[in-house]
Amino acid sequence: MATVVLLTFTGLGLGALYFLIASGLSLIFGLMDVLNFAHGALLSVGAYGTWWAASGHLPGAGTEGAGFALAVVFGTAVGTIAAVLLEVAVIRPLYTRPREQILATVGVGLAVPALLSAIWGADARPFPGPKALSGTFALLGAEVPLNRPVLIGVALVVLAALKLFLGRTRHGLVVRAGVEDRAMVTALGIDVRRAFTLVFAIGGAAAALGGALGGLYFGSVDPGQGTSLLIFAFVVVVTGGMGSLTGAAVASVAVGLVQQFANYYTTAGLGDVAVVVLLAALLLVRPRGLTGRLA
C-alpha cells in the first residue's frame, strides 16, 4: 500500500510537470500549427532563472519563504520573456515557411541547453529549495515528499487559471476561435497574430514555472532537463488532442502514472516505453486524441 501511495503521488507530481509543459505546447499547436521544439528550452530557462535568483544573485530572493517565491516569480518571468522573444524574433518571420519554422525551434531547443552548459557547466546543480518543502509527510504508511502535493496543487491552479482565461475573457475567446479557424478570426477584423504572442507568453510562463518546480521535484537543475521532459510532453499533447486543455490535463495524469507504475513493477525504463505504447494504442482507437477539441 505504501508503495502504491508513493508511486501515485510521484506519478501525479510528474504528471503535473508534464501538464505545465504540455498545456502551452498544446495551445500553441492548436492555434498556430507550430510544433514548438524549443518549449523544453523555456522550461530550462525558468529552472535556471529560479536557481540563479535563489542562489543569492537576485537581491531579495533566496531559498526560504518569500525570497524563494520571488525567485520562482523571477524564473517564470524570464521564461515568459524568452517565449515572447522566440515568437516575435524566430517564429513570426517564418509563418509562411512551416518547415523552416520547425527547424528554427529545433535549433533554439538545442542552442539553449548548449548555452546553459557553456555558462554553468553540463553537470547537474543542486537546487536550493526551501526547507519546508524538502521534507516528507506520512500517508498510509508511505513517506511522501512534500514537493509532490505542491506540484499537483500548482498544476491544478494553472489549469483553473487557463480555463478561466479561455472561457471568460475576450482574448481567450479569440484563442478558442483561432484554434477552430484562424482565417475566419481575421475576417472578423481581429489581429490573430496578437493572440499568437499571447499564447506563447502563457505557454512560456507555464513551462518556466514547471522548470522552477521541476527543480524542487528533481532536487537539481541540469541543461538537458527540459528536453527530456519535452518528449513526454509531446506524448501528452498527442494523447490529449492538439489544442485541448482538458485533454492535456487528463493525458498528463495518465502518462505520469503509467510511467511510474510500469517503471517500478517492471524493469526500470520500461515505463518510458509503456507510455509510447499507450500513445500508439490510443491513437488506434481515437485518432484525434482523447477529446480532439479545446476547453
Partner 1 sequence: MSPAPAPLLTVRDLRVVIGGRHILHGVDLEVAASGTTALLGRNGAGKTTTVRGILGLVPRTGSVLLAGEETVRQTTHALVRRGIGYAPEDRGVFAALSVAENLRLAERPGAGEPAYDLVHELFPELRRRARQAAGTLSGGQQQMVAIARTLLNGNRLIIADEPTKGLAPKVVTEVAQALERAAEAVPVLLVEQNLAVVRRLARHCVVLADGRTAHQGPALDLLADAEAARRLLGVGSAGHGGPARTPAGPPARTAARPAARTTEADA
Contact residues for partner 1, defined by CB under 8 A: 32, 95-96, 170, 173-174, 176-177, 180-193, 293-295
Question: ∠ CA(60), CA(61), CA(63), 5° rounding?
Answer: 135
* Residue appearing with cell numbers 488532442: 241
Backbone angles phi, psi at 189, to 5 degrees: 90, 20
Q: Taking the complex as a whole, how short is the minimal distance between the CB of residue 114 and partner 1, in angstroms?
A: 31
Q: Taking the complex as a whole, how short is the minimal distance between the CB of residue 174 and partner 1, in angstroms?
A: 7
Q: Taking the complex as a whole, how short is the minimal distance between the CB of residue 158 and partner 1, in angstroms?
A: 22
User: Kind and range of the H or E element at 145?
Assistant: strand 142-145
How many Cβ atoms are within 10 Å of 285's Cβ, its own excluded?
6
Q: Taking the complex as a whole, how short is the minimal distance between the CB of residue 285 and partner 1, in angstroms?
A: 21
Q: Taking the complex as a whole, how short is the minimal distance between the CB of residue 18 and partner 1, in angstroms?
A: 24
Please say which residue, 138 or 184, places its beta carbon nearer to partner 1.
184
Please say which residue, 46 or 178, places its beta carbon nearer to partner 1.
178
Tell me the one-letter amino acid at 156.
Answer: L
Please say which residue, 125 or 193, places its beta carbon nearer to partner 1.
193
Q: Taking the complex as a whole, how short is the minimal distance between the CB of residue 199 and partner 1, in angstroms?
A: 13
Q: What is the DSSP string of 191-257?
A: -HHHHHHHHHHHHHHHHHHHHHHHHHHHSEE-TTHHHHHHHHHHHHHHHH-TT-HHHHHHHHHHHHH
Backbone angles phi, psi at 244, to 5 degrees: -105, 120
Q: Taking the complex as a whole, how short is the minimal distance between the CB of residue 237 and partner 1, in angstroms?
A: 18
* DSSP assignment letter at 291: S
Please say which residue, 174 or 278, places its beta carbon nearer to partner 1.
174
Please say which residue, 87 or 222, places its beta carbon nearer to partner 1.
87
Please say which residue, 23 or 225, places its beta carbon nearer to partner 1.
23
Alpha helices, DSSP H, located in the chain: 2-32, 39-52, 65-85, 98-120, 131-134, 147-168, 170-180, 182-187, 192-218, 225-240, 245-265, 270-285
Please say which residue, 39 or 176, places its beta carbon nearer to partner 1.
176
Please say which residue, 23 or 260, places its beta carbon nearer to partner 1.
23
The three cell numbers of residue 221 are 537543475
C-alpha to C-alpha distance for 127 and 18, rounded to whole angstroms: 19
How far, CA to CA in Å, does 227 sit from each of 44, 157, 230? Answer: 8, 24, 5
Report whether 148 contacts 9 (CB < 8 A): yes
Q: Taking the complex as a whole, how short is the minimal distance between the CB of residue 171 and partner 1, in angstroms?
A: 11
